[in-house]
A = this chain, B = another copy of it.
Amino acid sequence: MGITTKDLAQMCGVSRTTVNRALSGTGRISPDTKERILRVAREYDYQPDLLARGLVKGRTYYIGVVVLDVKNRYFAQMLSTIGAEANKQGYSINIVLHNNDRQMEQNQLMKLSAYHMDGIILSSVNEGEEYRRFLSTLGMPIVSVDNKIADGLPFVSIDQKKAMKEETALVLKKGYRKVVFVCPPMDAGVKENVYVHKERLKGFQEALQEFPEAEAEYLLDWSYLERAELLAESGEKAAFVCTSDGFALDIMKRLESRGKRPPLDYGITGFDNIDTLDYVKPRLSTVSNSVDTVAATAVGLLMNMIEQQADEQTEEQHEICRILPYEIVPGETV
């Protein structure tokens, strides 16, 4: 659309190389011509064509971010931080949503690769060795978050298992005899990567082992609301341990309509500590996923990988797996 270096060269009566030197500030060039070129460039509002530059330099200073969905509070928060961190380092981000569609995720990644993104931050629905190979064919640095894809792939997350274990133990210590693990996404375990959920399940079960007198129940599909209602009305006071704040909120809402409120009639805990909780009474007991830290760490890690790949000199792989601390967030629902 705009003016090109060729035009500038013509206008200033110099070669394109000289124009380039003036604009980039590299190489020897006389102050006069430089000054003159820059003035003309400014006057005609020259803007470099980033596609062309990307093509020749092999770098776009863009990082692609592939996540489930932007309506999800958790991802929204993450994207916000990733964007801010990336900007600080002179990168822009290209956000892409896969909506839990495995094929869509692959397509989007291929497209990002074809657009020469310098790196990728990925919360994947895919997993396994084969997928890892696919990712490596893309030829760009990739950091995965939350959902582990395969060993050896850079990965950032909190310690999901430990977090859930601690949270569950907290519930059990309160004296609940019956604990219900709520995790509808597990339903799709065959079709999707449910690594985080499986980890949380493990944590739940580990905690349970230390309380042999407790009885566990599992709601692992999307009928969880109906089943939670039945459980709540069965008389026995139960605690719902949910793998996401959203599920907890939905259960609370449902049971509220039946006149039941925590912690009197039942106990309930969430996961993630999304900011919606600020407005809901009673305050949901949950655990913070430290999303900002995860996001910032992922960006930092990715930047290292990008720089390293650019330098190409050092072959040493830094630590590629970062497990970050979580935080128990006490509430009033248990």
Contact = CB atoms under 8 A, between A and B. Distances in A.
Interface of A: 1-2, 45, 47-52, 54-55, 60, 69-71, 76-77, 79-80, 83, 92-97, 108, 110-111, 113-116, 137-140, 249, 252-253, 256, 275-276, 278-281
Given A71-B77, A138-B1, A49 B83 contact: no
Most buried by B among A2, A83, A114: A114
A2 B55 contact: no
Given A50-B114, A51-B51, A253-B278, 20 more contacts: A1-B113, A1-B139, A47-B113, A48-B114, A50-B115, A51-B115, A69-B80, A70-B79, A70-B80, A70-B83, A70-B95, A71-B80, A80-B97, A83-B97, A92-B111, A94-B94, A253-B279, A276-B276, A279-B280, A280-B280
A30 to B, nearest CB: 28
B47 A51 contact: no
A252 B280 CA distance: 11
A111 B51 CA distance: 10
A18 B148 CA distance: 43
Contacts of A139: 1-2
Q: How many copies does the complex hold?
A: 2
A56 to B, nearest CB: 9
Contact of A49 (B55, B77, B80, B253): B55
Contacts of A93: 95
A113 B92 CA distance: 14
A141 to B, nearest CB: 12
A47 B114 contact: yes
Nearest to A60: B51
